[in-house]
Amino acid sequence: MTLATGTDRAETRHELAGTAYDLLVIGGGILGTSVTWMAAQAGLRVAMVDAGDFAGATSSASSKLVHGGLRYLQTGNVRLVAENHRERRALASDIAPHLVKPLTFVVPIYKGGPHGAAKLGAGVFLYSALSVFGDGMGRVITPQQALAKVPALRSEGLRAAAVYGDHQMNDSRVAVMTVRAAVDAGAVVLNHAEVVGLRRTGGTVTGADLRDRLDGTEFGVSARLVLNATGPWVDHLRRMEDPSAAPSIRLSKGAHLVLRRQEPWKAALTTPIDKYRVSFAIPWEDHLLLGTTDEAYDGDPAAVRATEADIAQILDEAGHSVRDSQLRRADITYAFAGLRVLPGGPGQVAAAKRETVVTSGSGGMLSVAGGKWTTYRHIGRHVLDTLAHLPGQPLGDDLADILPAVPLPGLASPDAVAMRLWTDRDPGTRMDPLVARHLATHYGSIAFDLARLIREDPALGERIHPDGPDIWAQAVYARDREWAATVDDVVRRRTTLTVRGLDTPDVRARIEKLLG
């Protein structure tokens, strides 16, 4: 595997500059990473660069769900829900069962609420039917049964509740594992590498000039085809190709909060706010994840963050169904926001279609925008298919077929991995069961690589912060094997330190020293 630290970054830059690629993907979010993975599987020489970290922006600011999209039934998009369910089941059973786990959702039905029990009952039944009842049957339960699943549920005015099954994940970990899968398939990748100009041959875009943001080194990459997958920045790069390019997208901001949990939750809450919008309260990483908002955004994509107004709105909407004792501001450990990339056009962003937009520029650069985690493999295949059938066939016509279900690295049963980690040690040095479980559900069988690091240096088995399960072996592994080059790469996207509110100045200083 191409590592990405110190001299290894120099080696990667040298490789990028000295190879003629079939495809250069600019942008390492969900979309860019998925296309890179699929292109490598199809036998193309593919390179991917990102100005920040992989999945460093919107792709690590999601609701952490792998879901069919219950609310799409409200707009009558049954086919989309069925397609989402297919991909969700594939991820949970064949691609990433070590990273994607099932979760029960409860929809409380209150007196005077936007939906009645009959309508919601029919909705969750249809939803589970579209999933071929793979997660049980959607049904209506009593207020007492709902409270047994979610003790923090408000009981005043609670008439009944609907219940259905979906899945959740840690999006940052799925992103890193997908980058790793792309590299395993032959791709060359580099993060913190910013495009400063596009290369042209006879008016056609044939690569990009880049600057390494960590040390300022400038280099170039040549490719037969360039794909702009820069998410919220897609129009910025299109204007680099053609200064007169009209806007192709609009942005919607979605903010979330993470809070310390007062008690265990056996299920998540999906609370209808109005006819179309819902508020999520999801047990995640031993905490509670609340969100999301949906409002038009026209500022600098790099400056997006959860504002005081966002925090107030999220707490207020969660309060429709969650008791006040679980919604204390003092318990907020992290607030974050990301930008949904939506097709351009009139109307409210909340009503805009969540679809992938592919456009071709005057210099032949292809731009792709819009995507979602649940169907990210499907979208990657769709975009690659589009690239393969471009006029003039810049990628040629000899692409290999992509296998239907290539798993992400580390594929294993998390329960089996956790048990092995816990029992494989000498009795006096046994791994804490909470740490073993944490490693198993974030790395799968790759957790055994971390266990080997600990055997070689027992100090790496110590927790980075006493209040969380992340250990020093993860930081070392992130540096050496997962392209982590900055403190934020480690604390926010390779571990769970930031979301737990544990990235203290002391922790950040020690990690900075580790990164050298």
For residues 113 and 100, state if they share a domain. Answer: yes
Residue numbers in the chain where pLDDT is lower than 50: 1-6
4 located within any domain:
no
Same domain, residue pair 141 and 180:
no
Statement to judge: residues 196 and 211 lie in one domain? yes
Q: Does the residue 320 lie in any domain?
A: yes
The tally of CA atoms less than 13 A away on the side-chain side of residue 414 is 21
The predicted-structure confidence for 48-76, as pLDDT tens digits, reads as follows 999 999 999 999 999 999 998 887 777 77
CATH of the domain at 215: 3.50.50.60
Look at residue 77 in the predicted model and tell me its pLDDT: 82
**pLDDT confidence of residue 132:** 79
pLDDT at residue 515 in the model: 95
CB 230 within 8 A of CB 26: yes
Assess if residue 329 is contained within a domain.
yes
Determine if residue 141 is left, alpha or beta; phi over 0 gives left, psi from -120 to 50 gives alpha, anything else beta: beta
- Could you tell me the CATH number of the domain that includes residue 319? 3.30.9.10
Beta-carbon count within 10 A of 31 CB: 27
306 and 218 in a single domain? The answer is no
Does residue 425 share a domain with residue 285? no
pLDDT of residue 2: 42
CA gyration radius, the chain: 23
Instruction: For residues 353 and 221, state if they share a domain.
Output: yes
Asked whether residue 47 is domain-assigned, the answer is: yes
- Same domain for 115 and 38, yes or no, is no
Do 392 and 484 reside in the same domain of the chain?
A: no
Residue 158 lies in a domain: yes
Task: Output the pLDDT for position 426.
Answer: 67
Q: Does residue 70 contact residue 268 with C-beta atoms inside 8 Å?
A: no
What pLDDT score was predicted for residue 353? 57
Query: Which has the closest alpha carbon to 100: 10, 173, 4?
Result: 173
In a domain, 73, yes or no: no
Number of domains in the chain: 3
pLDDT at 162: 95
Residue at which a domain ends, from 364, 398, 432:
398
**Which of 128, 127, 154, 151 shows the shortest CA–CA distance to 71?**
127
Indicate if 243 and 255 belong to the same structural domain. no
The pLDDT score that the predictor gives to residue 350 is 58
CA distance 113 to 358: 39
**156/260 same-domain check:** yes
Nearest to 283, CA basis, from 160, 183, 150: 150
| Domain shared by 50 and 185, yes or no | yes
Distance of CA 18 to the CA centre of its chain: 32
Any domain includes 283: yes
The domain of 386 spans 9-58+173-248+349-398
Residue 80 counted as domain residue: no
Same domain, 509 and 418: yes
pLDDT in tens, 123-163: 899 888 888 777 888 999 999 999 999 999 999 999 999 99
Q: Given this model, what pLDDT does residue 3 score?
A: 45
